[in-house]
Amino acid sequence: MPAINEVTNLEVNSNIAVLTLNSPPVNALSAKVREGLHVGVKQTTEDDNVKAVVLICEGRTFIAGADITEFGQAPKGPSLFEVLDMIENSSKPIISAIHGTALGGGLEVALTCHYRIAIPSAKCGLPEVKLGLLPGAGGTQRLPRVVGAQKALQMVTSGEHVPAKECLEMGLIDEMANEDSLLEDAIKFASTIVKENRPLVKVKENEENIKADKGNHALFADFRKSIARRTRGFLAPEYNIQCIEAAVNKPFEEGIKVERELFTKLVTGSQSAAQRYVFFAERLVNKIPDIPSETELIEVNSVGVIGAGTMGGGISMNFANVGIPVTIIEQNQERLDRGLAIIKKNYENTANKGRISMEDVETRMALITGELSLDTLNSQDLIIEAVFENMALKKEIFRKLDGISKAGTILASNTSALNVNEIAAETKRPEDVIGLHFFSPANVMKLLEIVRGEKTSKSIVASSMAIAKKIGKIAAVVGVCPGFVGNRILGQRQREANKLILEGALPWDIDDALFNFGFPMGPFAMSDLAGLDIGWNKETSKGETLRDILCESGRLGQKSGKGFYLYDENRNKSPDPEVEAIIRKFAEAKQIRLRDISKEEILERCLYPMINEGFKILEEGMAIRASDIDIVWINGYGWPAYEGGPMFYGSLVGFDKILDWLKKMEQELGSEFKPSSYLEKVVNENINIFV
Ligand code: 3HC
Ligand code: NAI
């Protein structure tokens, strides 16, 4: 095949040119790919033999977007705009032939082609919003001209990958190819276009699909309202909306100007920098340096779960959702029935919201079997223990499992704090034991901490990573230490939040500061949600702590209508002067002088100790890399992705500044602020912790 450059080939047969890109892994629009496209299209326009051009990709996918690694670097070669102009203004019809995913700049390329054909498994989308961006090469202006404003708004603000069938229905693709014969079908389609002398369709000239919405402000106002909660704090969704609004209300060229201006703002801003960092961090977290990719995996075709409580139920749903049968063990029939009923109710609720069908509920429930004896766990590939957090009980269960489960079964504990090495030592196969720390609600939360014990084998770790992926979790490998990575860092924030109350900040001051930073809720709203009486005992309570006093006065949290906050009948919270009075009285009794505390100080006190703990975790080797800590906090605790996670945020604040602050606090408030020696090293030796 005649090569244009290392990643592009051009071949002409019977008047149809086939321009093929082959730039693994995802044919991203790097300088080389842009050059190949530019030269290739130019050659086809100059070649009189060519009557039409098929643009197709080798490998796993059509163009998956701009090359994200190039953002922030000096531009090289032809720009994407030059390439798109060349395609759109070609005198010969250009047909993009899509498999895998046509995403971002990839879909923008396809939208400047005159026709699009795809195979049924292909998907199209503009996922820039997930990188804190907007489609910057005409996507926001061309997409609504094909699919209308409403659908375009949905696509650009969600970043969803839309299946080919739906794309066909909404006109985003013109023709469906057979799954196994894309090239052949694309060439046939191109020949038909030539034979029938079909027009050179330029999407930018199509006003038909947007004209009805010109001046329709309500459409955009309603849409903004509908996504407000989900997108709070993020800049990109709003900028994407403004672009679609421009597409509908302004001429194409003016709309493009709006798009370029807003794209530039986003791509040079801190939110997108953080979100692009998170994109790569999410991929890096899957890489375990000492575990080769060819490590033998245990295939998980059946699962056992012990305990049908809060966690066991949610954990089981993950597997039933992907068609893997689960056996759940409980200690008695009543608890088993209750656990299974809650699972069923959860599925029914999802079905009522239209997210799954009633048949799905039946199919999934049919995959879950309840049993009362551990002896039934003799054939499963993976067993996850989720009984009470009690070491003696967990040890007993693992001893028994050792005698019951088949050789090679992955034996996992969902413990949130207990020592996995100690649990593993109860068995004669500690190499098969691992911690799989799910987060509540386990069927919803994305994060899974994979707790690698001292003796856990590489195959068990790799197999756990693989099964996590299968059930749609983002897994981070962590070491055995109290609280692992996530809760260990949470402990720092919780301690400081509690201390701040007795220095003068009110619970809602602290919650507001963290909520405005971007967390879904602050620690006190969270405590009210969970219940203040978890771990509190009426009989032994001595009114010694603020929590004792709140619980003793019936303030148990949301469930009793009041806790740190007061709740109305719809569970809307408001600050309660009574709580303020309780705090003041408590402080007086303890002879504590309360002072005014600024939002800035609240954030420093809550966040900087978390970053310090992150460094201690790295120093002890309990996380593989700094970005894994960020992934844990974004996916398990709601750290806003646009702030990049605690370690990334720390780098923006400046590790030197944080170190100085910690030293000062250590002197003023004590050893809890002692800086990690690794943080000192990073600052003193100017080490980049993100490589
Ligand atoms: N640029 C550079 N590298 C990319 C990339 C991109 N756009 N997309 C993926 N990669 C890299 C990944 O980092 C990964 O590298 P690694 O193997 O070294 O870790 C490799 O390609 C494979 O990626 P995945 O592991 O994610 O592979 P999957 O098969 O699971 O997923 C995918 C493939 C759906 C294409 C997914 O990679 C993806 O969603 N990519 C990003 C798509 C995107 O956001 N496109 C828009 C870019 S911005 C843009 O186009 C701006 C324009 O409007 C001007
Ligand atoms: P839970 O109290 O809701 O459920 C535990 C269940 O285990 C109960 O239904 C109980 O009957 C059952 N059980 C006890 N002994 C048993 C036995 N011998 N055989 C079979 N079943 C038995 O507790 P929850 O919250 O589900 O916690 C379970 C585990 O998950 C604990 O180790 C906890 O630390 C951990 N965890 C809890 C999280 C949470 O938010 N609740 C989050 C992450 C981990």
Q: Where are the domains of the chain?
A: 3-267, 303-477, 504-589, 599-685
How confident is residue 1, by pLDDT bands cut at 50, 70 and 90? Answer: low
Q: Residue 93: helix, strand or coil by DSSP? A: coil
For residue 534, pLDDT beyond 90: no
Tell the residue nearest (CA) to atom 20 of ligand 1.
25
- Length in residues, the chain: 691
Cα of first residue to Cα of last residue in the chain, in angstroms, is: 39
Report pLDDT digits (tens) over 232-285.
999 999 999 999 999 999 999 999 999 999 999 999 999 999 999 999 999 999
- Round the average pLDDT of the chain to a whole number and report it: 97
pLDDT at 545: 87
The DSSP string of 466-515 is HHHHHTT-EEEEEESSTTTTHHHHHHHHHHHHHHHHTTT--HHHHHHHHH
Instruction: Give the count of alpha carbons within 13 A of 606, CB side only.
Output: 28
Q: Which CATH superfamily is domain 3-267 in?
A: 2-enoyl-CoA Hydratase; Chain A, domain 1 (3.90.226.10)
For residue 56, pLDDT beyond 60: yes
Report pLDDT digits (tens) over 442-480.
999 999 999 999 999 999 999 999 999 999 999 999 999
Say how far apart CA 632 and CA 191 lie, in whole Å: 52
User: Matching CATH topology for 3-267 and 599-685?
Assistant: no
Instruction: Give the number of the ligand closest to the Cα of residue 127.
Output: 1
* Residue 644 Cα to ligand 1 middle (Å): 18
Lowest mean pLDDT of 121-135, 423-437, 527-541, name the range. Answer: 527-541
Report pLDDT digits (tens) over 198-233.
999 999 999 999 999 999 999 999 999 999 999 999
Tell the residue nearest (CA) to atom 4 of ligand 2.
309
For residue 529, pLDDT beyond 70: yes
Which residues are catalytically annotated? 108, 128
> Which ligand 1 atom is the nearest neighbour of the CA of 287?
19
Say how far apart CA 659 and CA 608 lie, in whole Å: 9
659 Rama class: left (phi>0) / alpha (psi -120 to 50) / beta: alpha
Whose CA is closest to 413, among 380, 443, 435? 435
Say how far apart CA 272 and CA 360 lie, in whole Å: 38
pLDDT at 535: 83
In single-letter form, the type of residue at position 172 comes to L
Q: Which two tokens stand for residue 304?
A: 């056992």
Say how far apart CA 469 and CA 287 lie, in whole Å: 13
Distance of CA 297 to the CA centre of its chain: 25
Query: What is the average pLDDT across 138-157?
Result: 98
pLDDT at 542: 87
pLDDT at 691: 84
Q: Residue 191: helix, strand or coil by DSSP? A: helix
Report pLDDT digits (tens) over 654-663.
999 999 999 9
C-beta of 349 in contact with ligand 1 (< 6 A): no
How confident is residue 169, by pLDDT bands cut at 50, 70 and 90? Answer: very high
> Which ligand 1 atom is the nearest neighbour of the CA of 66?
50
Say how far apart CA 305 and CA 384 lie, in whole Å: 5
Instruction: Give the number of the ligand closest to the Cα of residue 438.
Output: 2
State whether the Cα torsion 524-527-529-532 is positive or negative: negative
Comparing 539 with 518, the larger pLDDT belongs to 518
* Residue 389 Cα to ligand 2 middle (Å): 7
Tell whether domain 303-477 is in CATH 1.10.1740.10: no
At the top level of CATH, the class of 504-589 is mainly alpha
C-beta of 653 in contact with ligand 1 (< 6 A): no
> Which ligand 1 atom is the nearest neighbour of the CA of 64?
35
pLDDT at 553: 92
Q: Which CATH architecture has domain 599-685?
A: Orthogonal Bundle (1.10)
Query: What is the average pLDDT across 476-504?
Result: 97
pLDDT at 544: 85
Select from 57, 68, 128 the residue to mutate for testing ligand 1; criterion: most ligand atoms less than 8 Å from CB: 68
Report pLDDT digits (tens) over 546-603.
899 999 999 999 999 999 999 999 999 999 999 999 999 999 998 999 999 999 999 9
For residue 131, pLDDT beyond 90: yes
613 Cβ neighbours under 8 A, 6+ residues apart: 488, 489, 491, 492, 676
Distance of CA 64 to the CA centre of its chain: 18
Say how far apart CA 492 and CA 506 lie, in whole Å: 18
C-beta of 133 in contact with ligand 2 (< 6 A): no
243 Cβ neighbours under 8 A, 6+ residues apart: 134, 135, 140, 141, 156, 255, 258, 259, 262
Instruction: Give the number of the ligand closest to the Cα of residue 160.
Output: 1
Whether 565 contacts 532, CB under 8 Å: no
Say how far apart CA 100 and CA 118 lie, in whole Å: 9
Q: Could you tell me what percent of the chain has a pLDDT over 90? A: 96
Whose CA is closest to 231, among 275, 188, 192, 264? 275
Instruction: Give the count of alpha carbons within 13 A of 568, CB side only.
Output: 5
pLDDT at 75: 86
For residue 668, pLDDT beyond 70: yes
For residue 32, pLDDT beyond 90: yes
Report pLDDT digits (tens) over 88-111.
999 999 999 999 999 999 999 999
pLDDT at 72: 83
**Stated pTM of the model:** 0.95
